[in-house]
Amino acid sequence: MSGDAKQRIRGFIAGLVEGHAGNTVFSDSESLFQSGRLDSMSAVELVTFLETEFGIDFANVDFDIAMLDSVDLIEGFVAPMLRPAAGGMSARR
Amino acid sequence: MSATLTSSAAVPAKAPESGQPGIRRLFAMEANARIVEFARTTLGRLLIILGFGTLLSLQYSWRYWLPVMLGAAACAYVAEHRMKLVALSTFAVLALDPLWFNSLDAVKGLAKNAGIEHPKAVPFLGYGATLSVFGLATALLALRQRFSDSKLAHRPVLLLLGIFSLLVAAATATTGHVEGIALWALAMTLGAYFWFICYALHDQGSRKPVSVVEHLGLFRPFWGSTSVSFGKGAAYLARFEARTAEELAVTQLKGLKLLLWARVLLYAREAWSTLVHQELGIPWFAEAIAWLTGGRSFSPWTGWASLVLSSVDLALGMAIFSHTIIGSARIAGFRLPRNMWRPLEARSLAEFWNRYYFYFKELLVDFFFYPTFLRCFKRHPRLRLFFATFMAAGVGNALFHFMREIDEVIKHGWYGAVAGYQSYLFYCLVLALGVGISQSRQRKSRPGGSFVRHWVLPCTGVWFFFLVLYVFGHEDRTLSLSERFRFLFFICGGTHER
């Protein structure tokens, strides 16, 4: 996954955190949802962002919000889908 | 529908230093380094477990509290085998009483009608049905592993709903025959385990699959449950395991505190209902409706008081049982978030659900909201959010409760069961519309506005909405929709006449 993509994810989450808790200081490994820093509305916005920004289709994923609980986890989730023919997951670029 | 509680509801991993004096130190004992240190000693651990057992013994017979106490101690202090010990404790509690959560009363009636009156007949049916459901779950987990790419593998609710429907259809067709008794026992038992199996099937697709025995050990785990899984499935629970001696001590102290709080609420509930119901003569909600339909004269204010009394009683009951369950899980070493967390502070309908019945809301989110949101109306953002919320708060909610009360079909037949359910369907419809609109209109919180505008008005609006909705949500299925409307009309200033 390119550093640019990770920066875009981080930038988007910083906006969510700022809107939710007013503090944008967080590390890439820090829990976002389980810690209560972000709520479900943020989860919905994050899913929509990943769909539109990276063309990810969540329809056939065993979705659990825990897999998007930190910037590092999101990166780990998104990266394989951005590669062609990655495990049958659809990805539009 | 929110995916998390605020962090304050979950147990912090470490004990911060505390300089609080006197009584406040006792209330914040998990934040006191010296108390936490003591809780890590052999004597401290012994006192925690004995305190836990004592609190449970005030409420339950030894056949339940003793294995739960011993199980919690084993899970807490033999951490390397914690999940296996959870399973062992769950099976032990089940072996001692196969009907501890599933009385099969309706099946007892069927057995009696068929002339089967041996006292061991229904418990034996309970064992048989439970073993059959465990067998079915084991087979489904194996199939889930084997065909992980199939469409059904990603839709555990649909798969299980199909099986449940077939079972209920077969039981309905054979009602009145001996085999019908066994099929109804099986259907009711599958209904009781339904959402636990859904979580297991869902977790089977996670990165760290767990053994079948560990999945089964979380089906109605020994620390207690309703048809809702407090602690969800293995994957979720694993994230809340206490990993160090200090984490365990903090978790157990918070668990003990929650159990004590549940006890205090129990006494408060008894005192409250004695005061308003017996001393002040305010009727329970169902009684007030009976008064109204019976032509007894009373004021609309008494009707409002009855509504408040009954809804407060319901909320206290919910707090007591859910704090007991979560407190017990914490004693066993799981830092689970509370099920109920300051519901009166909710500023929106969606937030209220998150604070009032967290694990039920999570169930609806996991199995109805996200599957709908991720598949439907992707090009229409507002409709997409509204429809997913409607599917969770409305359809999922209605389905959950109808399945939970499937024994109503045995008692009253299909027509009677559906007719008795009409009020709850209406409740689900209004709730879904309310939460859906609330979600669509949700704005980012902007602290700093006036206290009245930021807190008082939104909180009061939420309480009033749920208070009025309680008229239709009250679970007495003998009260018809028209009777409830009539009651609402009366307390809003309508006439007493038919």
Interval B98-107: pLDDT, tens? 888 877 888 8
pLDDT computed for residue B443 by the predictor: 54
pLDDT band at residue A40 under the 50/70/90 scheme = confident
Nearest Cα to B287, choosing from B268, B264, B265, B305?
B305
Residue type present at position B473:
G
Most confident of A8-22, B426-440, B449-463: B426-440
Has residue B136 got a pLDDT over 60?
yes
Q: How far is B261 from chain A (nearest CA, A)?
A: 24
Mutate to test the interface with B, among A17, A39, A70 (most CBs of B within 10 A): A39
Residue type present at position B37:
E
Average pLDDT over residues B32-50: 95
pLDDT band at residue A36 under the 50/70/90 scheme = confident
Has residue B171 got a pLDDT over 60?
yes
Which residue in A36, A59, A88 is closest to B375 by CB distance? Answer: A59
pLDDT computed for residue B123 by the predictor: 85
pLDDT computed for residue B11 by the predictor: 62
Residue type present at position B267:
Y
The CA distance from B371 to B255, in Å, is 33
pLDDT computed for residue A88 by the predictor: 40
First-to-last C-alpha distance (Å) of chain A: 13
* B250 in Cβ contact with B330 (< 8 Å): no
Please tell me which residue of chain A has the smallest CA distance to B151: A60
Has residue B441 got a pLDDT over 60?
yes
Contacts A–B by Cβ distance under 8 A: 64
| Radius of gyration of the CA atoms of chain B, in A | 24
Has residue B498 got a pLDDT over 60?
no
The CA distance from B255 to B126, in Å, is 31
Q: Under an 8 A CB cutoff, do B442 and A41 touch?
A: yes
pLDDT band at residue B50 under the 50/70/90 scheme = very high
Nearest Cα to B6, choosing from B445, B371, B486, B321?
B445
Q: How far is B459 from chain A (nearest CA, A)?
A: 19
pLDDT band at residue A80 under the 50/70/90 scheme = confident
The CA distance from A13 to B378, in Å, is 21
Q: Does A47 touch chain B (CB under 8 A)?
A: yes
Q: Does B9 touch chain A (CB under 8 A)?
A: yes
The CA distance from A29 to A10, in Å, is 11
Poorest-pLDDT segment among A4-8, B127-131, B242-246: A4-8
Q: How far is A14 from chain B (nearest CA, A)?
A: 15
Which residue in B3, B10, B439 is closest to A65 by CB distance? Answer: B3
Alpha carbon distances (Å) from B291 to A84, B129, B281, B285, B489 = 70, 42, 13, 10, 15
| pLDDT, greater one: B201 or B496 | B201
Poorest-pLDDT segment among A23-37, B235-249, B482-496: A23-37
pLDDT computed for residue B8 by the predictor: 38
- Cα torsion B264, B269, B270, B276 to 10°: value is 140
Question: Which chain A residues are closer than 8 Å to B375 by Cβ?
Answer: 59
pLDDT computed for residue B26 by the predictor: 64
Q: How far is B359 from chain A (nearest CA, A)?
A: 14
Counting Cα atoms < 13 Å in the Cβ hemisphere of B22 gives 1
Has residue B66 got a pLDDT over 70?
yes
Write the burial class of residue B469 (CB in 10 Å: 0-12 exposed, 13-18 middle, 19+ buried). Answer: middle
How many residues would you count in chain A?
93
Has residue B459 got a pLDDT over 50?
yes
pLDDT in tens, B290-302: 999 998 989 999 9
Q: Does A80 touch chain B (CB under 8 A)?
A: no
Which residue in B1, B8, B236 is closest to A40 by CB distance? Answer: B1
Cβ atoms < 10 Å from Cβ of B131: 13
Nearest Cα to B258, choosing from B186, B334, B148?
B334
pLDDT computed for residue A90 by the predictor: 39
Q: Under an 8 A CB cutoff, do A65 and B206 touch?
A: no
pLDDT band at residue B20 under the 50/70/90 scheme = low
* B228 in Cβ contact with B340 (< 8 Å): no
Which residue in B4, B365, B442 is closest to A34 by CB distance? Answer: B4
Percent of chain B residues past pLDDT 90, beyond the cut: 67
pLDDT band at residue B49 under the 50/70/90 scheme = very high
Please tell me which residue of chain A has the smallest CA distance to B336: A34
Alpha carbon distances (Å) from B243 to B79, B201, B249, B333 = 8, 26, 11, 9
Residue B372, φ and ψ in degrees, nearest 5: -75, -50
Write the burial class of residue B229 (CB in 10 Å: 0-12 exposed, 13-18 middle, 19+ buried). Answer: buried
Poorest-pLDDT segment among A15-19, B399-403, B430-434: A15-19
Q: Does B198 touch chain A (CB under 8 A)?
A: no
Has residue B444 got a pLDDT over 70?
no
First-to-last C-alpha distance (Å) of chain B: 40
Q: Does A16 touch chain B (CB under 8 A)?
A: no
* B333 in Cβ contact with B82 (< 8 Å): yes
Q: Under an 8 A CB cutoff, do B205 and A62 touch?
A: yes
